[in-house]
Structure 1
Amino acid sequence: MKKEIKIAVALSGGVDSATTAALLKEEGYFVAGFFMQNWSTPIDQRGFCPAVADVATARMVANQLKIPFYVLDFEEDYYKKVVKPFLEDYKKGLTPNPDVLCNKFIKFGRFLETTQKLGFKKIATGHYALIKEKDDIFHLYRGIDKSKDQSYFLWTLTQKELKFTLFPIGGFYKKEVRAMAKKRGLVNADRKDSQGICFIGPIEVSQFLQRFLPKENGPVRDENGKILGYHQGIWFYTIGQREGLGISGTSEPLYVAYKDISTNSLYVVPRNHPWLFAKEFKVRDVSFVQTVPKEALRVEVVIRYHSQPHPALLSLKNGEFFLTLDEPAWAVTEGQSAVFYNKDELIGGGVIDRVLRTRK
């Protein structure tokens, strides 16, 4: 009976997780809500910390649904597994994705492990993605609502996690989820979606970095090495960035194409410059939803959230994975995720490690 199956729902305070809990309870499952306390430090000078409002809203939702509610303190793990690597990668000139780390180590790591020890059979989250089981094999797909699809951030999930995971709203559009929440009178039915860094809140990445990494001025150079201006710290910029470069008076917009850590220099070029395009790159920390392919595999690779997929060949050379795109892609960025798809099915992914592009 469903009543005997205990499901731990990750309640974030948002409408997606609240609707997830409501739907599962209506289906007859024993549901409990859990709020993951991962960050409690104020994110601005006013002392504002979004976690205070988030946990209060999550508790109200649980009370409204008449389900048990618990707060799990994962702050230490979150700092060690997400924030610290995030900052270390930026120091190296990379552009990491904290949401991927958060999913791997916190939501589908500590949360899953902790709730299993408490006797829960499955966890459920408000992710816009789909899990389908066939012949005891779990498949992961993009959510129905492509504008909200979050599968890009879930490429580290394997059979180990998927067999214990539910994504109840993955088959709905966002407007349908809000409508379901309003129909049920959920207190957060009209609450705005969270923005910013995973579990930290509505703060720009550059603002967050400035709290932990020092400003270190350096030259902004053109392709010939001419100094056009000065930046505030090489780790505050990413490949393809145009804004905030500290330069003006150029004949056309310029974009970051190369970060030289050894000289603390940013190199900027026009948008269609060859330095900004790449066709081949190495990926590390590769993970597959099912099994590791034994031969080269045709995939569609997504190199940044909500970007168009690129047809590519995934190959293994001397124990390392490489992606060769059919056509060059713009601003392939080391540290970001490269996620492999077969149409709407997520095959796996990895971290862009070394881009083979033309430059000085």
Structure 2
Amino acid sequence: MNTKKNIIVGMSGGVDSTVAAYLLQKQGYKVLGVTLQLADHYIQDKSKQFGVIEKAKAVCDRFEIEHIVIDQTAQFDKYVVNYFADAYFDGNTPNPCVQCNLHLKWESLLKIADKRGIDNVATGHYAKVRKVGKYFYLFKGEDQAKDQSYFLWRLSQEQLSRTKFPLGDTTKDEIRKIAQELKLPQSEQAESQDVCFIPDNDYKAFLKQYFPERFDKIQMGNFIDKNGKILGRHEGYYRFTIGQRKGLGLAMGEPVYVREIHPDTNTVVIGSLLDMEDMGCTVSDINWITGKKPDTMKDVLVKVRYRNKGVIARMEPLENGKYHLLFTDTVTAVTPGQSAVFYDGEKVLGGGVIISHENERR
């Protein structure tokens, strides 16, 4: 059986995955739509998550695409939710989309592809894959405002070699225009800015409900300045993230921000805007897109958060596979737990997880 033109598309029911499936059909592919059931057991309003499945099925029916739903709730708990909670209780700020892409979306889609004898999978991400020499590289999407390569840095050569991004060369406006021409209800659908399994984006309430034993152990703690002076009291370090200004309840006469979080002492270090300017950071858990570090290291563009435009940095290897990044310009509120993604122009070289940040040059 010739399966070269068969492809699996991850279907969320949203405008991006819907148009991705449509474009692949136009290119001559026979599409199999797959929707992963992930977080519905955390959503109090069940219509939201089941609405995703129903919307995806409606799309597949419209385009005469076979549609299957895979229950991955147990894997989602293991690789995403537990990771998310661990990060906050460790005083870090998690990046659940990176984990979900690696452990849920690609692993699940490729497993189904293998069972069906299908070579390729596709998603509605705004990114590109190109083969350069003997390696497959990840590139930024054409729409710089929507580029999602930042969330895909953990993908392996095997995964990238079998992945297509139909939206990589398009803009969001063009995708919405196609959806409008097709009279798809998704064309005017607002984009969600929340973490999919956190109702109303209230992660503190989520931790209290689903991790009560760990939550209840955390008592009142102190706000302190960088010299250790007590500035006030707070209800638990897990309530804060690096760079946070609102909700501190401190009257300091000037804007102040969360500079550091120390779970072991339940203290939160407060600083001025100047204190938030970092000159470098240390990253671990490195993934190089080619599967190995570059033969020669040079300065790279580093993005330390999704909406960050990036800064040129020098990478210095440390022990145990870690790297120190020395920025050429200051970066505000570098946050442990977030991803640092390395670029050479539009090409993603790899990435790592931020484990510390430095306010002064070494």
TM over 0.5: yes
Residue matched to 2:270 = 268
Q: Where does the alignment leave 5 or more consecutive residues of structure 2 unmatched? A: none
Residue matched to 2:348 = 346
Matched, 1:252 2:250: no
- Structure 1 Cα separation of the partners of residues 197 and 165 of structure 2: 19
Residue matched to 1:239 = 242
- Structure 2 Cα separation of the partners of residues 146 and 29 of structure 1: 27
- Structure 1 Cα separation of the partners of residues 47 and 340 of structure 2: 32
Residue matched to 2:220 = 217
- Structure 2 Cα separation of the partners of residues 144 and 42 of structure 1: 34
Output the amino acid matched with 2:294: P
Residue matched to 1:5 = 5
Residue matched to 2:206 = 208
Q: 1:138 aligns with which of 128, 136, 139?
A: 136
Residue matched to 1:108 = 106
User: Kindly, what percent of the aligned residue pairs are identical?
Assistant: 36
Contact kept, 8 Å, 2:43 with 2:197, in 1: the verdict is: no
- Structure 1 Cα separation of the partners of residues 235 and 36 of structure 2: 34
Matched, 1:41 2:41: yes
- Structure 2 Cα separation of the partners of residues 335 and 233 of structure 1: 18
Contact kept, 8 Å, 1:296 with 1:316, in 2: the verdict is: no
SS of 1:189 mapped into structure 2: helix
- Structure 2 Cα separation of the partners of residues 64 and 308 of structure 1: 39
- Structure 2 Cα separation of the partners of residues 208 and 49 of structure 1: 19
Output the amino acid matched with 1:25: Q
- Structure 2 Cα separation of the partners of residues 60 and 13 of structure 1: 8
CA shift for structure 1 position 88: 1.0
Deviations 1:51-86 (A, max 9, x none): 111111111111111100000111111111111112
- Structure 2 Cα separation of the partners of residues 136 and 201 of structure 1: 44
SS of 2:186 mapped into structure 1: coil
CA shift for structure 1 position 141: 1.0
Residue matched to 1:17 = 17
Alignment length, in residue pairs? Answer: 354
Contact kept, 8 Å, 2:3 with 2:117, in 1: the verdict is: no
CA shift for structure 1 position 199: 5.9
SS of 2:201 mapped into structure 1: coil
Contact kept, 8 Å, 1:35 with 1:55, in 2: the verdict is: yes
SS of 2:206 mapped into structure 1: helix
Contact kept, 8 Å, 1:10 with 1:34, in 2: the verdict is: yes
Residues 205/147 of structure 1: CA separation in 2 closer, same or farther (3 Å cut): farther
In the TM superposition, what are the counterparts of 1:43-82 in structure 2 within 5 Å?
43-44=43-44, 47-48=45-46, 50-82=48-80
- Structure 1 Cα separation of the partners of residues 16 and 120 of structure 2: 18
CA shift for structure 1 position 235: 1.5
Query: Larger helix proportion, structure 1 or 2?
Result: 2
Between 113-122 and 345-354, report the one with greater CA deviation.
113-122
Output the amino acid matched with 2:240: Y
- Structure 2 Cα separation of the partners of residues 234 and 98 of structure 1: 20
Deviations 1:153-190 (A, max 9, x none): 01111211111101001111111101111112223222
Residue matched to 1:321 = 323
- Structure 1 Cα separation of the partners of residues 4 and 334 of structure 2: 48
Output the amino acid matched with 2:183: G
- Structure 2 Cα separation of the partners of residues 192 and 201 of structure 1: 17
CA shift for structure 1 position 328: 2.9
Output the amino acid matched with 2:302: V
